[in-house]
Structure 1
Amino acid sequence: LTSTLKTNAIYQIKSKKLTLNPFQIMLDKIKLKGQVSVQNGALTKVRYTLFGNQWDLNPYLSKKSTITPATKNKNKIQNTNNRNTSAPEIEPNLSFLTHLDVQGDLTLAGILYKNIKIGEITTKLFIKKGKASLNPLNIKLYKGQLNAKASIDDAK
């Protein structure tokens, strides 16, 4: 893996604000660029606008398994037996959301994963007062489009 980070960093001492503009990070051929700012205070305030190229995830997938068929069947039987003894679901602790104020825009040209080609992805992330939302989340898929929104709330 080859990675690089290029940016101009400005830190304002009085306001405790770090600005990275322009910001560019690369991992092999995967690129993300734009601007980012982080300000410390009672709430950690993050603002960003980031653009990514088409991300080919295939080079990072695990290689074909070397498990023999006999081992596969043994694992399958063990996994089937373990299903009945699963632990109850526990909600994750989302209290960290109450300490964040995030607004950001992310645009990716697309993602390649195995034989799946996903077109442009755009989303806006908002986190404030324990609530987080992706709204809208737009994904171009083949000859159509997926539009969604998601939110979580850590309200007690």
Structure 2
Amino acid sequence: MSSWVSHLPDHKHYSRVSGHGMNQIELQNNTQLTDFHIQNLNTEQQLPYGDEEFDLCTIAVSVQYLTSPVPVFREIYRVLKPNGTCCVSFSNRMFPTKAILAWRMFSGEDHCRLVSWYFEKAGGFREIQSEQLVRENSNFDPLYVVTAKKILV
């Protein structure tokens, strides 16, 4: 999921960065994207990609807005290559009118548990790990990441 910024390091080269979002102008202004798709994942969860196309999927500071996250995570599993990774990052910031109730009720580590549960319910993901990258009470917003791998058994 993307907008005008991909939250990827600028100094790295990527052969493909496909953005997925709802705002065409923002996606067009994202200089890291090689292609993009406009789609509301709350009304249509099927991703417009083939099976096993991607090494990595990121959901940066937007998982809290998914009203049907488990089908979206199933789709992520489908489009990831074997041993591919999905990284979901988030902070304590949100638009309360857009975030799902479960997200508004929880914070911090509970958000990590919720995202881990999405991976578990989607099925197939392994090595689910969560980490707080930036602590609260620092000069920055707290930042969390939950990662999981598509490991075929």
TM tier, shorter chain? under 0.3
Which of the two has higher C-alpha Rg? 1
TM-score (norm 1): 0.26
Structure with a larger share of its residues in helix: 2
Structure with a larger share of its residues in strand: 1
Using CA pairs below 8 Å that are at least 6 residues apart, which structure has the higher relative contact order?
Answer: 2
